[in-house]
Amino acid sequence: MKWIHGLALLLCAALPFAAVADDAAADGAAAPVAHPTLLSAPQQTRIGEQRLRYRVSFDQLDFVGANGARVASIGAIGYLAERADASARPVLFAFNGGPGASSVLQVEGLGPRLRVRDGKRQTLIANPHSILDVADLVFIDPPGTGFSQAPTDAAARARYWSDHGDAKAVESMIRHWLKTHGRERAPLYIAGESYGGYRLALLAAGIADLRPAGVLLVSPLLDASSGDDSPGNDLRAVFDLPSLVVAAAAHGKGDLAGQAVENVYAQARAFALGDYAQALLQGSALPADARSRMAARLAALLGLPPQALLAADLRPDVETFRLGVLAADGRQIGRLDSRVAAPLPALHAADNGRPSAANDPALGLGRSNRITSAAMADYLHGLFGTALPRNYVSLDIDIAMAWRFSADDGAGARPFGTALRFNPTPNLARLAQANPDFHVLALNGYYDLAVPALGPWYALHHSALDPARIDFRLLPGGHAVFAEDALRPQLHNLLKEFLR
């Protein structure tokens, strides 16, 4: 089973979006307080044929309340190559999603250390495909993740466990780190995985002055409204369908089973954007005979009974599908990686109020909502000593379940109609206006049912970004594409090109 920390949960897609007033800037919070930077002894690694010396840094900002006491903190782990031209090297900031996930991209393929499983233990080894050879790397852990302190009271939770408060906290760390390390003139790149894509698009509203050269989006949540299950929203079903068909084919179900995944996806995508979308747009006006024909076509693609598709109003959802497509064999498939199959979960009293996605066999969460990483804690304590907290929190889904969303893109007042959408993606176009070299690299997995790839494609191509600035890639992986061993050489080459 894949290591849990490499698979961001993205539970927000399984939870209701509650529109609240955006009060992140209205409660008079004081400026954050910076700790002195911790710096490791020199380290060595080999990337390809190149031997590289580097140091690891740790920076922390404390957020304080009205009485001056710390109410939350945010941390950043940096990997800094020892080069004569260090001040001009690109800097890539990266974070995962959740909400509630630490920045595990650093040990999933980007950083110089790579997590591996040795029996029941996880260990860190040298990563020959790190991109430290072309850019310095900074991984940000928001409040409540990594070594960062969770908010201590209700007011702090309302601020820092909210979409805008979280984005502002991350922006504070980016600005602090660039200034503290003398890298304000370095080419700037930012990466967000899963919910981290939504966070990145939110904070893009306020960082045009930093003139980022590019953003890396990994299986990103972007337009949350389009993927919502609200009645009358047909986009969600259209976006999900190609990935559902790929999942069915991966398990020998449906008419396209046995074909290459690229062909399966292309055919399903064409159908989803064509006949399927046309049928759904008619709603209840779709004639009964056309409805029956569409149910039969969906059944042939998905390996489900036509009656089940009719009962779902021709709009199967991910959770029902992944629990049902192999139910006759007593199995479920994965949400974060639809190639994974496991026995259907037993019902537990503790599941009351817990999203079904928490039982995803590709996640492997078990009964706990909070996971710590001894491997990361030991590694960082070995570098910095006892100055850091004892436990490193890799994932805490209670953060996701406490999260507050605001129907605002972070840009201030908007017309009523657009203010109803949870979609900050157009903020990225502002970064393109600030930097003529700005570009986007989006990486998505064919087998990802947490963020089906058609959704991010749609959001980016409806954001006012010039399509020439968007490099959208589909890869034979799940939600965590960097967790795929076979893809790492290809990803390294893609990122080297992206960072130049």
Residue 226's pLDDT band (cuts 50, 70, 90): confident
The 10s digit of each residue's pLDDT in 287-315 is 999 999 999 999 999 999 999 999 999 99
Beta strands in 336-422 (DSSP E): 341-343, 370-372, 393-396
Mean pLDDT of 262-270: 99
- At residue 358, what are phi and psi to the nearest 5 degrees? -65, -20
Stretch 404-432: mean pLDDT, rounded? 72
**pLDDT tens profile 118-131:** 777 888 999 999 99
66: confidence class by pLDDT, cuts 50, 70, 90: confident
Asked if residue 453 is part of any domain, the answer here is yes
Q: Are residues 17 and 149 in the same domain?
A: yes
Residue owning tokens 């290591």: 3
Instruction: Evaluate if residue 34 carries a pLDDT over 70.
Output: yes
Q: Same domain, yes or no, for 276 and 379?
A: no
- Phi, psi for 447 (deg, rounded to 5): -100, 20
pLDDT of residue 436: 93
How far apart, in Å, are the Cα atoms of 52 and each of 10, 55, 61, 248? Answer: 35, 10, 29, 44
Last residue of a domain, one of 325, 359, 393: 359
- Tens of pLDDT, residues 419-458: 557 899 999 999 999 999 999 999 999 999 999 999 999 9
Of 337, 359, 381, the residue at which a domain comes to its end is: 359
**Range(s) of the domain holding residue 274:** 235-359
For residues 110 and 205, state if they share a domain.
Answer: yes
Q: What percent of the chain has pLDDT over 70?
A: 88
Encode 131-150: b = buried (16+ Cβ within 10 Å), e = exposed: bbbbbbbbbbbbbbbbbbbb
Domain annotation covers residue 36: yes
The full DSSP string for 17-60 is --B----TTTS-PPPPEEPPPEEPPPEEEEETTEEEEEEEEEEE
The answer on 246 and 220 residing in a single domain is no
Q: What is the pLDDT of residues 134-152, one digit of tens each?
A: 999 999 999 999 999 999 9
Pair (212, 254) in one structural domain: no
Is residue 405 pLDDT above 90, yes or no? Answer: no
* Residue 369 pLDDT: 80
Q: Are residues 157 and 244 in the same domain?
A: no
Compute, in degrees rounded to 10, the torsion defined by CA atoms 101, 104, 109, 113: -170
Position 365: which residue type? L
> Which residues on adjacent β-strands are paired with residue 73?
62
Q: What does the pLDDT look like over 155-209, one tens digit per residue? A: 999 999 999 999 999 999 999 999 999 999 999 999 999 999 999 999 999 999 9
- Kindly tell me if the per-residue pLDDT of 18 is higher than 50: no
